[in-house]
Amino acid sequence: MSTLQKRLGQVFLKDKGTLEKIIQASEINPEDEILEIGPGKGILTEALLQTGAKIIAVEKDQELVKFLENLFKNKQNLKIIHADIRDFLKNKDYTKYKIQDTKYKVIGNIPYYLTSHLLRLLLENPIKPKLIVLMIQKEVAERITAQPPKMSLLSVSVQFYSQPEIICYVPKTAFYPEPKVDSAVIKITPINANENTDEVFKKIFFNIIKAGFRQPRKLLINNLSKNLKIKKDVLQKIFLQLNMPLNTRAQDLSVEKWASLSSLLTKNIV
C-alpha cells in the first residue's frame, strides 16, 4: 500500500458477503445514478456495475485512479473522477455529471475520520441523495443511530435530516490491511427536513443543541441558561410545559423533543 493510501486512512473490503449486503441495502435498479465515494481498488465498484446503474466514482488517490481506469476501461456506465469528495461536493462539481436532483444514491467505504463532515455535506446539500449507504466505524454507526438516553450532538444532527439504521456489523478481518476497529454498514434515508423547515428555526435548532451538548454531563437547563443567556426561571417554565424533568440532560432528548424545545425557546433567542 502506498504512503498516500496510509495517510488517507484507506482500507479495502475483501468480504463478498458484506458486498452483497451493501448492494441489497442500496436497493439499486438500472435507472439509478450512484455516487461512489472512495472506490479504492474497485471491489465494490465492480459489484455496483453489475446492477446496470450509472456509476460516478470519486477517488482522491491518483495511483488508484490510474488503476481503476485501467481495470474498468471498457465500462460505459462508469465515470472515474480524481478529486477529494469534500471538494467535489462543496464546489457542486457533481452538477457537471448530471447529478442534479435527489434521485441519486451515495455508496462507499469511507475513512473513519471523514464520517461526520461528509454526512453534513450530503445532508445539508440542496441536492440531497435519495439514499446513503456507507461503511463506517462501528462505534460511529452506533452513535448516529442512538436513541434516548444515549443521544449525542452527532445523532441529533443526523436524525434531524434523516432516518439512519445499521444494516450489519463487519469485523476488521473483512478488510486489508486490517484496521484496528470493527465497522458497520449504515443506511441513511434523507427526510428533507431542511426543505420543510424555516431557515431561522433551523439555525436556532442547531444553536440550541450545540449549547445543550457543550458540557453533556451537566444538566441541560444549566447548559442552556449559561450558553444561550436565558434565565433559569424561563427555562423551568418551558421544561414543565414539555413535561421534561428539571434534571434532564442533553442525551435524554429525542429529535422531536429538541424541536419542541427549540420552538418554545425561539422567542427568547431570536
Q: What is the pLDDT of residues 6-31, one digit of tens each?
A: 444 567 888 889 999 999 999 999 99
Using a 10 angstrom Cβ sphere, with 0-12 exposed, 13-18 middle and 19 or more buried, the burial of residue 243 is: exposed
CATH 1.10.8.100 fits 199-269, yes or no: yes
Q: Which phi-psi region, left, alpha or beta, contains residue 243 (left: φ > 0; alpha: ψ -120 to 50)?
A: left
Domains 3-193 and 199-269 share a fold: no
Domain borders along the chain are 3-193, 199-269
d(CA 216, CA 114): 23
Using a 10 angstrom Cβ sphere, with 0-12 exposed, 13-18 middle and 19 or more buried, the burial of residue 212 is: buried
Model pTM score: 0.90
pLDDT on residue 269: 63
Cross-strand pairs, 12: 176
Cis geometry, peptide bond prior to residue 30 (ω within 30 degrees of 0): no
3-state SS, residue 58: strand
d(CA 219, CA 7): 40
Q: What is the DSSP-derived secondary structure letter of residue 52? A: T
d(CA 156, CA 146): 9
Phi, psi of 268, deg, nearest 5: -90, -15
d(CA 147, CA 170): 22
CB contact set of 252 (below 8 Å; sequence gap of 6+) = 148, 149, 151, 220
d(CA 56, CA 34): 6
d(CA 130, CA 123): 10
Cell 413535561 -> residue: 243
With beta carbons less than 8 A apart as the criterion, state whether 92 and 100 touch: no
The CATH class for the domain spanning 3-193 reads: alpha beta
pLDDT on residue 3: 40
pLDDT on residue 93: 56
d(CA 155, CA 142): 9
β-strands 78-82, 54-59: how paired? Answer: parallel
User: In tens digits, what is the pLDDT along the chain, a chain of 270 residues?
Assistant: 444 344 445 678 888 899 999 999 999 999 999 999 999 999 999 999 999 999 999 999 999 999 999 999 989 999 999 999 988 888 765 556 656 566 799 999 887 788 999 999 999 887 789 999 999 999 999 999 999 999 999 999 999 999 999 999 999 998 888 888 999 999 999 986 555 567 888 889 999 999 999 998 999 999 999 999 999 999 999 999 999 999 999 999 999 999 999 999 987 665
Q: What angle do CA 24, 181, 252 make, to 5 degrees?
A: 80
